[in-house]
């Protein structure tokens, strides 16, 4: 199929439909309301459902209820809305239900603004909601990759019975880019009849709950969840090593939109004969600690430059990955400002 020109938000909606996710509940918030505006027309064409909820609290709990039927379900929101959804995320993770949450991140804290940001990194990777739970977090850097991540997210959600978060940002949500759906896998959801609550006809009742009053059962449940997160750590780490086929003196670490900017900086310096590497985590949880450590431990590697659209959040994982054995410099822009490749190049020059 030919490429189609789509706005990021529309591409998110279309990708979900093609992944067979025909239940969508959401509450408007800039910069991602266009997902709902797209799906309100698209869902009826494919026999799907879109319902505008009264709040993100309600939308995320609608997802909780809908996911219990085993159907593919999802919601989209942006930072303040994700804060309200954190309650449901904790419950859904505890109940082990598959579903997809998309966060088109805007700048915060508080009402913040409507421009792109990566200020929700810690919220996405460290919880947000209460208790020992993890989301598998995918961080695309282009509209095309967002489409691929949405489709992958539904597969992973079903496989792990866990909420998956696709963390984009306001730039990806609002940008128009050509999108190719031809590589889209045919949705292949597993059989969920062993746990879905769809009426106890001819079988014992199914129960989906998160309350464990007995400390022994509570501990058992936490350990079961932890084993699942370990499995993700073992099998789902994704990253891109750009211009790192050979050891580099300076290696940047960036994800999402920022990584795309950093790539341009790498290419620009290459033209001058300066070789810089870029390490781009694609899964933010599980974080690619080992591959980053291996790169940082090369003798030639002198300096890491972490670039983010926040005050320095992923840098904590870079420090964990490298045990602070190499110097790390942080360069960040905030308030919705996307760093330019020229700015990044200037930062690199300071380190050379």
CB of 92 to other proteins, least distance (A): 10
Q: Which CB sits closer to other proteins, 53 or 124?
A: 53
Q: How near is the Cβ of 57 to other proteins at its closest, in Å?
A: 7
Q: What is the dihedral of CA 185, 190, 191, 192, to 10 degrees?
A: -120
Least distance in Å: CB of 73 to other proteins?
Answer: 7
Contacts of 211 by beta carbon, 8 Å cutoff, 6+ apart: none
Burial of 109 (0-12, 13-18, 19+ CB in 10 A): exposed
Q: Strand pairing partners for 49?
A: 23
List helix spans (H) across 277-340.
289-296, 315-322
Cα distance between residue 247 and residue 276, in whole Å: 9
Parallel, antiparallel or unpaired: strands 163-169 and 49-52: unpaired
Binding site for other proteins (CB under 8 A): 23, 25, 49, 51, 53-55, 57-59, 61-69, 71, 73, 87-88, 91, 95, 197-202, 205-211
User: H/E/C letters for each residue in 140-189?
Assistant: CCCHHHHHHHHHHHHHHHHHHCCEEEEEEEHHHHHCEEEECCCCCCCCCC
Residue 16 CA to residue 23 CA, distance in Å, equals 9
Nearer to other proteins, 91 or 242 (CB): 91
Nearer to other proteins, 1 or 211 (CB): 211
The least distance separating other proteins from the CB of residue 211, rounded to whole angstroms, comes to 6
Shorter beta-carbon distance to other proteins: residue 43 or 253: 43
Q: Of 36 and 282, which CB lies nearer to other proteins in the complex structure?
A: 36
* 104, containing H or E segment: strand 99-105
User: Angle, to 10 degrees, between the axis of helix 79-95 and the axis of helix 215-235?
Assistant: 110
Minimal distance, residue 160 CB to other proteins, in Å: 20
Identity of the residue, 204 or 271, whose beta carbon is nearer to other proteins in the bound complex: 204
Tokens of 155: 């597969």
- Phi/psi for 168 (5° steps) reads -100, -165
Q: Which is nearer to other proteins, 23 or 106 (CB)?
A: 23
Q: How far is the CB of 220 from other proteins (least distance, A)?
A: 17
Integer Cα distance of 85 and 163 in angstroms: 12
For the CB of residue 275, give the shortest distance to other proteins in the complex, in Å.
52
- For other proteins, the closer CB: 75 or 257: 75
Shortest distance in whole angstroms from residue 333 CB to other proteins: 36
- Would you say 88 or 135 has its CB closer to other proteins? 88
Q: How far apart are the first and last CA of the chain?
A: 45
Rounded to a whole number of angstroms, the minimum distance from the CB of residue 16 to other proteins is 15
């Amino acid at each position: 199929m030919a490429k189609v020109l789509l706005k990021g938000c529309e591409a998110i909606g279309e990708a979900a439909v093609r992944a067979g996710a025909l239940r969508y509940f959401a509450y408007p918030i800039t910069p991602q309301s266009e997902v709902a505006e797209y799906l309100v027309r698209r869902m009826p064409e494919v026999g799907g459902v879109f319902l505008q909820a009264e709040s993100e609290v309600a939308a995320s709990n609608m997802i909780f209820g809908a996911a219990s039927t085993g159907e593919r379900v999802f919601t989209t929101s942006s930072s303040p809305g994700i804060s309200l959804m954190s309650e449901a995320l904790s419950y859904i993770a505890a109940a082990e239900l598959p579903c997809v949450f998309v966060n088109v991140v805007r700048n915060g804290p508080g009402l913040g603004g409507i421009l792109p940001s990566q200020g929700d990194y810690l919220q996405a990777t460290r919880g947000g909601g209460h208790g020992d739970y993890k989301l598998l977090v995918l961080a695309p850097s282009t509209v095309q990759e967002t489409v691929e991540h949405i489709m992958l997210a539904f597969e992973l959600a079903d496989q792990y019975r866990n909420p998956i978060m696709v963390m984009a940002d306001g730039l990806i949500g609002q940008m128009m880019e050509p999108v190719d759906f031809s590589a889209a896998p045919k949705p292949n959801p597993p059989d969920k009849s062993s746990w879905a609550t769809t009426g106890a006809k001819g079988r014992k009742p199914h129960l989906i709950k998160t309350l464990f009053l007995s400390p022994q059962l509570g501990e058992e449940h936490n350990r079961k969840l932890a084993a699942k997160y370990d499995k993700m750590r073992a099998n789902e780490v994704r990253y891109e090593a750009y211009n790192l086929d050979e050891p580099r003196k300076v290696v940047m670490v960036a994800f999402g939109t920022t990584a795309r900017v950093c790539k341009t900086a790498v290419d620009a310096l290459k033209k001058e004969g300066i070789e810089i590497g870029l390490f781009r985590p694609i899964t933010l949880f599980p974080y690619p600690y080992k591959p980053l450590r291996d790169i940082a431990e090369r003798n030639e590697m002198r300096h890491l430059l972490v670039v983010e659209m926040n005050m320095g959040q992923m840098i904590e994982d870079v420090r964990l990955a490298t045990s602070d054995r190499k110097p790390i410099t942080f360069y960040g822009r905030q308030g919705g400002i996307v760093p330019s490749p020229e700015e990044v190049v200037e930062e690199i020059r300071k380190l050379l």
